[in-house]
Structure 1
């Protein structure tokens, strides 16, 4: 069943009104017809079973049949803070982080980030959010993650105070990894921040300041991972250990 995200204000009196790019996709690519069932999400996590009522080139009207008790979201809220990479790597990171279940992705301008046109990076946020939306449709997420505008390192330190767990993969760390970290956690973790350095890595001073916030500075193994690989690997490991990527425990 095809899934569409429809803003809450476009769901009125048990009808959903699909507009924008999805309309062309429905009638020209998917060739959906009146009477066919679709899944509707109100962009706030609520899911509905819908039946297409009318299709035209400007708008698709869907009758809401029933609200569904469905959520494909993890019990662990993951916030990815990504040292801003070069070229189109951020597009890839946003797409895959969305598929893996990250709740927010925030680019961070650290000491070794090279930003030739800082204003240009801010203009990319709209594209990143569109990429996240398309990844949501593909992976059948219930919530569209937020892709934030880039922030400075000092702003990052303030943001990290809102989460239960801070994880920082670092190429110079040895011996202390995810397995050991999990054993040290004594309280329930509902939110986790993953902080990833840019291509040039972190400065020692940045690592020291993260440690002051009780961040877990870990190794991801003996091989050096690229910046676009490290964050996704860390999300996967945390989702397996603390989220829903490993499936449900058998009784």
Structure 2
């Protein structure tokens, strides 16, 4: 596949002409200055990849001939990151890092000790996370753009934890008080994995108790205390080595 990846919702069959316009086309034609004859890899963000060649270029639009298409297999087990809202200056960084590290789904969470509060701006803030995930997926040449859910509260997470556990998955609340070590969990047998990352102020005792009661493992990730914006990326990297995801 070519090095440059751009997203197009509907990719036509091989031999057909695809139109890349809107923000993606503008970025390709104006920012990246891609010209006629150059190769581009297109993706629909849901696993479909297509090799293409630019046949016409305008200011904010490219015309591409589709050369061939292939469906990329999704990594297994699927990993959902529940991210407590970081402070505004690190919020989108957290999304970028976990996307580059391979998160399949991202759930913004209004935890008890979050400094940030999205109550009055949840829709706009979630849109920013979705845009950050899309940009990071393009940068890391991913065939899949992570799903970014709407804002969740703790009660919503408890239902999700129970669903994952009932289906043979593992839910992990990353915390320094964990009795178990991250590398000791049976990730290779899990159908799905949920990672729960607390805010700058840490997980509240009542949250830890509720998560454990719902079936989550409170687990120590490593020997150092990580920022909330980097913990998910470190955990995802460890999962890549501990499972067949890499």
Contact (CA 8 Å) 1:197, 1:227: kept in 2 or not? yes
Q: Aligned match of 1:168 in 162, 166, 173? A: 173
User: TM-score, length-normalised on structure 2?
Assistant: 0.88
1:23 aligns with 2:25: yes
Matches for 1:138-149 after TM superposition, within 5 Å: 138-149=139-150
Q: Distance in 2 between matches of 1:42 and 1:117?
A: 30
1:116 is displaced (CA, Å) by: 4.4
Matches for 1:224-243 after TM superposition, within 5 Å: 224-243=225-244
Instruction: Check 1:206–1:18 CA distance in 2 against 1; reply closer, same or farther (3 A cut).
Output: same
Residues paired across the two proteins, number: 239
Deviations 1:106-145 (A, max 9, x none): 1111222234452224312112111111111111111111
1:124 aligned counterpart, secondary structure: helix
Aligned match of 1:124: 125
Q: Aligned match of 1:53 in 38, 55, 58? A: 55
1:195 aligns with 2:196: yes
How well do the aligned residues superpose, as a CA RMSD in angstroms?
2.1
1:50 aligned counterpart, secondary structure: strand
Instruction: Check 1:75–1:116 CA distance in 2 against 1; reply closer, same or farther (3 A cut).
Output: closer
Contact (CA 8 Å) 1:113, 1:198: kept in 2 or not? yes
Deviations 1:9-31 (A, max 9, x none): x6478222111123233333333
Segments of structure 2 that go 5 or more residues without pairing to the other structure are: none
Q: Distance in 2 between matches of 1:242 and 1:172?
A: 24
Contact (CA 8 Å) 2:30, 2:59: kept in 1 or not? no
2:195 aligned counterpart, secondary structure: strand
Segments of structure 1 that go 5 or more residues without pairing to the other structure are: 246-251
Contact (CA 8 Å) 2:108, 2:152: kept in 1 or not? yes
Q: Distance in 1 between matches of 2:68 and 2:34?
A: 20
Q: Aligned match of 1:32 in 31, 34, 45? A: 34
User: TM-score, length-normalised on structure 1?
Assistant: 0.86
Q: Distance in 2 between matches of 1:157 and 1:117?
A: 20
Contact (CA 8 Å) 1:76, 1:239: kept in 2 or not? no
1:118 aligned counterpart, secondary structure: coil
Instruction: Check 1:215–1:16 CA distance in 2 against 1; reply closer, same or farther (3 A cut).
Output: same
Contact (CA 8 Å) 1:77, 1:192: kept in 2 or not? yes
1:6 is displaced (CA, Å) by: 0.3
Q: Aligned match of 1:4 in 3, 6, 11? A: 6
